[in-house]
Amino acid sequence: MANLALGIDTGGTFTDGVIWELDKREIICKTKVVTTRHDLHLAIDNCLQGLLAQWPDQYSLNEIKMISLSTTLATNAIVEGQGAEVGLIQIGFAPDGPLPTPHHARISGGCNVRGRETKKVDLDEARAAIQELQGKVEAFAVSGYMSIRNPRQEIQVARLISELTGCPVVSGHQLTSDLGFRERTVTAVFNARLISLITGLIDAVKENIKTRGIAAPLMVVKGDGSLISEEKARERPVETLLSGPAASIIGAMALTGLEEGIVVDMGGTTTDVAILQEGRPSLNQKGARVGGWMTRVKAADITTEGLGGDSLIKVSTSGEMSIGPQRVFPLCWVADRFPHLLEELREIWEEIYFPLENQPTIILVHIKDPVNLELSPTETRMLEILKEKPHTLYHLGRRLQKDPEIIPWKRLVNVGSLHRASLTPTDILHLNGDFKEWNEEAAEVGTDIMARRKSESRQEFVEAVMEKIYYQVSSLLVEVLAGYDQQEITLDDRGAGFFLERLFAPAEGTKRLIEFSARVNIPLIAVGAPVRAYFPQVSERLNAPLSLPPAAEVANAVGTVSGQVMERIQIVVKPGEHGGYLVYTPGDREGFLEMEEAVRYGREKGREYVYKQAQRSGASDIEIMEHREDKFTNLYGFVPQGEEEQNRLFIESIIELTAVGRPWGD
């Protein structure tokens, strides 16, 4: 009897599926279907249908031991600024700088660094803030100052939110035990924003496997490439940030056998880059940075750029072109599904529509009705029209008898009620012959419209887009490689731009007096649907050995079934305020007189916690690894040799415990 696994990766553009032989580590069958973002159930159904149509006679569905899911939906939602509207309640402090939600309030309260309450939380103040936000948001996040040392105030406010609103609510202390109030706040907001999105995806998978009689447990890939149970993924969807690219790294290793290289995963929305050494990606210990926001999500050290096959191609009124970071439906795909849109695009071409604020080729597609949002009369009417069928923004303006430039469509796109279609690199590939799947004529008309905006011919515009992509990808790889020694390097100043231009941009017209070249000394491992169209050129410009695995287009799905369950926790022991020692465990703190007694308690609680978490994630054959680091400082600076011990001052002891297990049983 075989041990099989079903792997599914749901990206912004495609949903990939594989049946994987767990013991032989090989693909039995694979498929790739379009991700129907308006109906994830349909995307999963099409994926399973494609796999079962190839199902070999010698295997039985009962031999499927696990189902594993990775997704870029969470990452894409953050990059594109989409997801549920979230109300944020901050207790005791408000961090400087912008927040990832416009709906926030600060109330009295807070703790000190040792977890002692410095000011009681004002629940009347909290009630007023909650009622002010109610109706404007779909979920809540609560973040209290130093809540990782004492979560009591966060728990009180979260309970009040549930009683008053019934909305999902997330507390910062539930997601991380790391310091960093701002980052913890951002993480809590993102978790609240993503709950409905990830829950909808998991439900779609569960319903589809149930109707086909598949009873295996469902696992979800985290951002570090390890696996968690569906229950934990529902509670902590923020941990699926960078899930798709993390799965691609694991999949790239499984497909190539390489243990060293620079792994590049280009999908529909993003290009994700990670360095692979000694058979594993490094982890970003500070937390993942996604869409410009720093979080406390432990993830593979992945650099993400909003550039993919379905990135929005924009041309400014001055003729300057940019690609990404927003993802849109390609014109070729949306017109293939809704043929009337080809005529609406032709209408734009004939009318020489030249908007100042928007791109001329924008089409709006209805996805779902918004929840808990008060709509203006124009927004309500716009949704009524688009529910019937999608339209160009230009055509919609005529229906509403309004200038398209002032139609309020952006808020509905941000909350996921509407989605845009416009010109993308996928459309360009239809013109140069690298990819022909949908309506080529729509791609041609859209390209002509944008080429006219840039004052170029169709061919000149196509070449300019391809060169822009080669340049952006090559520059991204140089930036990642240059910063791999833990130095944060951004190649965005004037001098760096000069070198990058000489490295990767072709000379036009005049002979250059100086040229530069790059050489990459590790393999470039490219995975994802569009990589064969771009990476031969990119590798040539970088002078890098290129590895394009035979199943590069489904590497993410392979990675979903090639990982392990892994749970980590840090227990911190610190000096008490009045002597003794304090032990900080998840959701609690305890005091002890003796150091070793405190450490023993922390180890026991930590081991118990990670073991239970690994069990909750469906792990078997669980092993626990432990690392302890004690931190001291000298009382008086320079200390004579041999007298260090008696002059040391204890700062803290960090006990890191990791539980590792197999994600499927016998």
pLDDT above 70 (res 597): yes
Give the domain-ending residue among 300, 331, 353.
300
Distance of alpha carbon 547 from alpha carbon 523, whole angstroms: 7
pLDDT at 617: 82
Phi-psi domain of 506 (left: phi exceeds 0; alpha: psi -120 through 50; beta: other): beta
Give the domain-ending residue among 300, 333, 356.
300
| Any domain includes 193 | no
Q: Are residues 364 and 443 in the same domain?
A: yes
**Exposed, middle or buried, 319 (CB in 10 Å: 0-12/13-18/19+)?**
exposed
Spatial CB neighbours of 84, under 8 Å, sequence gap ≥ 6: 137, 138, 139, 192, 193, 194, 195, 196, 197, 371, 415
pLDDT above 50 (res 482): yes
Q: Are residues 358 and 392 in the same domain?
A: yes
| pLDDT tier, 31 (very low <50, low <70, confident <90, very high otherwise) | very high
* Residues paired with residue 524 on neighbouring β-strands, in sequence order: 262, 546
Helices 494-504 & 458-482 angle (0-180, nearest 10): 120
pLDDT above 60 (res 635): no
pLDDT at 45: 94
Average pLDDT for 6-35: 90
- Dihedral pair phi/psi, residue 164, rounded to 5°: -80, -35
Q: Are residues 444 and 578 in the same domain?
A: no
Distance of alpha carbon 657 from alpha carbon 623, whole angstroms: 10
pLDDT above 60 (res 488): no
Q: Are residues 424 and 572 in the same domain?
A: no
| pLDDT tier, 76 (very low <50, low <70, confident <90, very high otherwise) | confident
pLDDT tens for 112-167 read 887 788 888 989 999 999 999 998 999 999 998 888 788 889 999 999 999 999 99
Q: Are residues 375 and 259 in the same domain?
A: no
| Any domain includes 625 | yes
Average pLDDT for 378-404: 95
Distance of alpha carbon 475 from alpha carbon 273, whole angstroms: 12
pLDDT above 90 (res 649): no
Distance of alpha carbon 609 from alpha carbon 586, whole angstroms: 8
In this structure, are residues 547 and 258 in contact, taking their beta carbons and an 8 Å threshold? yes
pTM for the predicted model, two decimal places:
0.73
Q: Are residues 359 and 417 in the same domain?
A: yes
Give the domain-ending residue among 438, 453, 468.
453
* Domains held by the chain: number: 3
Distance of alpha carbon 659 from alpha carbon 230, whole angstroms: 18
Structure tokens at 664: 């499927």
| Any domain includes 217 | yes
pLDDT tens for 554-574 read 998 999 998 888 888 889 999
Q: Are residues 65 and 213 in the same domain?
A: yes
pLDDT above 70 (res 513): no
Q: What angle do CA 141, 145, 151 make, to 5 degrees?
A: 70
In this structure, are residues 167 and 161 in contact, taking their beta carbons and an 8 Å threshold? yes
Q: Are residues 446 and 327 in the same domain?
A: yes
| Any domain includes 530 | no
Provide the b/e sequence for 537-560 (b: ≥16 CB within 10 Å): bbbebbebebbbbebbbbbbbbbb
Q: Give the residue numbers spanning the domain of 386.
A: 320-453
Q: Are residues 366 and 441 in the same domain?
A: yes
**Averaged pLDDT score across all residues of the chain:** 87
pLDDT above 70 (res 414): yes
Average pLDDT for 650-664: 89
| Any domain includes 559 | no
pLDDT at 500: 66
Residue 58: count other Cβ atoms within 10 Å of its Cβ: 8
The sign of the CA dihedral 230, 234, 237, 239 is: negative
How far apart, in Å, do the first and last CA atoms of the chain sit?
A: 11
Least confident of 46-55, 274-283, 375-384, 424-433: 274-283
| Any domain includes 573 | yes
| pLDDT tier, 481 (very low <50, low <70, confident <90, very high otherwise) | confident
* Selection from 37, 29, 30 nearest residue 10 by Cα: 37
| pLDDT tier, 639 (very low <50, low <70, confident <90, very high otherwise) | very low
Sheet holding 139-144, edge to edge: 103-107, 86-91, 139-144, 169-171
Distance of alpha carbon 368 from alpha carbon 376, whole angstroms: 17
* Selection from 193, 157, 151 nearest residue 172 by Cα: 151
pLDDT above 60 (res 404): yes
| Any domain includes 308 | no
Q: CATH number, domain at 51? A: 3.30.420.40
Q: Are residues 254 and 360 in the same domain?
A: no
Q: Are residues 437 and 324 in the same domain?
A: yes
The sign of the CA dihedral 298, 302, 306, 307 is: negative
pLDDT tens for 318-358 read 999 999 889 899 999 999 999 999 999 999 999 989 898 89
Q: Are residues 449 and 594 in the same domain?
A: no
| Any domain includes 62 | yes
Provide the b/e sequence for 458-490 (b: ≥16 CB within 10 Å): eeebbebbbebbbbbbbbbbbbbbeeeeeeeee
pLDDT above 90 (res 73): no
Structure tokens at 378: 């124009």
pLDDT at 72: 80
